[in-house]
């Protein structure tokens, strides 16, 4: 997943709640986490989910199934092990509609890390078609975002452990006539030795509601925090130097990735020198009022815990999501026990704890050199991202 635009303060259209991170973030070492389980289990590997069957269609809903027209074989650029590939998919909507649920279908779960679906305006759809036409093969490489000009609306996503994501009754993401989507798939090729088994033809089952009975519109809001995780105790090597590690991220994913690292520090840490530690957090001021209905946390394989809070340390404090034992293979977007209203001027805080010692315990990472970990798009890098689905309120 990504938060590139948000972390440098230009993502208001993508997520109305957020926000340029404005006030203090803290860094520091957390208490020593429990040992990682050996073999299978949390952080063990990518895994295909075995979700329950879809909930029965509600009144006015129908399913629309989309998939890649032919298999795509990813190829990680710049010496890395990850590719973000974008594909245009067209639900062929001729009338106003709403996206009220989605079930991503990772055809090759061994290499699919996550997927995000962005709604395109008519101008963006043309730009995407032009980009697709001039890029060899299916789709185009798109680290960080959909790769088309302007802010695109995040309307669905999948990460390991998710089945069908169902929006609350009476709500949906607006889908105007002619709406098209960019399907961004993060392919992770760590450990792939047989390239013939690395092709993928993933797709999505969309739950579409007739726009004749207007629903309340939804938006996706993101809160991100920096990653400043030093090498595990006793480790050495060139990538244990922070500047070298940031340069390596830029080499693999483009200059925008280094800008994200800098933007997170500038917004969350007031531009002060980064402080290395297992735990980082960032405070984000809420710019527009609304109500949050679903939430999830996203980290990679070194993640230990993630928490998103509203107005921490005040009488109005609420916990939006708290995952004290993070499991990469269980990242479903889940309904809140009860919706949480946010107001302009409130503060959202996201806090993540990572554990560098997991690098030498996990099959996917143990053969890689030790490194100072910053925010990066690769599975061997890290993220700290709270994802929320909310209904804006004027």
Q: What are the pLDDT digits (tens) for 322-364?
A: 999 999 999 999 999 999 999 999 999 999 999 999 999 999 8
Residue 197 burial (C-beta neighbours within 10 Å; 0-12, 13-18, 19+): exposed
Q: Phi-psi bin for 332: left (phi > 0), alpha (psi -120 to 50), beta?
A: beta
Contact status, residue 340 vs residue 310, Cβ threshold 8 Å: yes
Question: Any idea which of 19-28, 215-224, 230-239 has the lowest mean pLDDT?
Answer: 19-28
Q: Phi-psi bin for 234: left (phi > 0), alpha (psi -120 to 50), beta?
A: left
Confidence check: pLDDT of 34 > 80: no
Confidence check: pLDDT of 244 > 50: yes
Residue closest to 155 by CA, chosen among 141, 144, 171:
171
Helix (H, G, I), strand (E, B) or coil at 241: coil
Q: How far apart are CA 217 and CA 207, in angstroms?
A: 15
Q: How far apart are CA 186 and CA 157, in angstroms?
A: 11
Confidence check: pLDDT of 54 > 90: no
Q: How far apart are CA 286 and CA 343, in angstroms?
A: 7
**Average pLDDT for 297-313:** 98
Which residue in this structure is represented by tokens 């500047």? 243
Confidence check: pLDDT of 235 > 70: yes
The answer to whether the pTM exceeds 0.85 is yes
Question: Any idea which of 1-15, 178-192, 201-215, 378-392 has the lowest mean pLDDT?
Answer: 1-15
Helix (H, G, I), strand (E, B) or coil at 220: strand
**Average pLDDT for 234-253:** 97
Q: How far apart are CA 37 and CA 262, in angstroms?
A: 34
What residue ranges define each of the domains in the chain, with the CATH number in brackets? 4-41+219-392 (no CATH), 61-216 (2.60.120.310)
**Average pLDDT for 70-82:** 93
**Average pLDDT for 234-241:** 97
Give the chain's count of helices (H) and strands (E).
4, 20
Structure tokens at 27: 């860094």
Full strand arrangement of the beta sheet holding 303-310: 27-28, 279-285, 347-354, 303-310, 318-323
The alpha carbon of residue 249 and the mean position of all alpha carbons in its chain are separated, in whole angstroms, by 17
Which residue in this structure is represented by tokens 């802010």? 151
Q: How far apart are CA 305 and CA 185, in angstroms?
A: 25
Residue 196 binned pLDDT confidence (cut-offs 50, 70, 90): low
Confidence check: pLDDT of 162 > 50: yes
């Amino acid at each position: 997943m990504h938060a590139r635009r948000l972390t440098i303060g230009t993502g208001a259209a993508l997520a109305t709640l957020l926000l340029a991170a404005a006030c203090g973030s803290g860094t520091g070492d957390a208490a020593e986490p429990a040992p990682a389980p050996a073999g299978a289990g949390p952080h063990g590997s990518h895994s295909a989910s075995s979700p329950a069957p879809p909930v029965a269609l509600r009144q006015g809903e129908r399913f629309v199934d989309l998939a890649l027209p032919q298999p795509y074989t990813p190829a990680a650029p710049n010496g890395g092990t990850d590719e973000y590939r974008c594909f245009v998919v067209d639900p062929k909507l001729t009338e106003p509609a709403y996206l009220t649920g989605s079930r991503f279908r990772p055809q090759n779960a061994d290499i699919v890390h996550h997927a995000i679906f962005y709604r395109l305006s008519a101008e963006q759809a043309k730009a995407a078609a032009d980009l697709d036409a001039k890029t060899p093969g299916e789709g185009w490489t798109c680290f960080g975002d959909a790769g088309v000009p302007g802010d695109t609306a995040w309307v669905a996503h999948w990460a390991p452990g998710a089945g069908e994501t169902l929006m609350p009754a009476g709500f949906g993401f607006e889908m105007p006539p002619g709406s098209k989507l960019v399907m961004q798939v993060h392919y992770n090729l760590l450990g792939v030795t047989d390239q013939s088994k690395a092709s993928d033809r993933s797709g999505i089952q969309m739950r579409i509601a007739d726009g004749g009975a207007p629903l309340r519109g939804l938006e996706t809001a993101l809160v991100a925090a920096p990653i400043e995780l030093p090498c595990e105790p006793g480790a050495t090597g060139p990538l244990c130097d922070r500047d070298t590690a940031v340069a390596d991220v830029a080499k693999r994913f483009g200059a925008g990735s280094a800008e994200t690292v800098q933007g997170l520090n500038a917004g969350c840490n007031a531009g002060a020198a980064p402080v290395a530690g297992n735990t980082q957090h960032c405070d984000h001021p809420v710019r527009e009022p609304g109500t949050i209905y679903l939430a999830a946390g996203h980290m990679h394989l070194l993640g230990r815990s993630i928490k998103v809070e509203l107005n921490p340390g005040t009488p109005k404090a609420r916990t939006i999501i708290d995952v004290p034992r993070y499991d990469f293979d269980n990242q479903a977007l889940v309904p809140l026990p009860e919706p949480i209203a946010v107001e302009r001027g409130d503060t959202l805080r996201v806090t993540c704890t990572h554990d560098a010692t997991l690098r030498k315990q996990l099959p996917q990472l143990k053969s890689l050199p030790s490194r100072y970990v910053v925010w990066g798009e690769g599975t061997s890098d890290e993220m700290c991202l709270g994802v929320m689905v909310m209904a804006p309120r004027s």
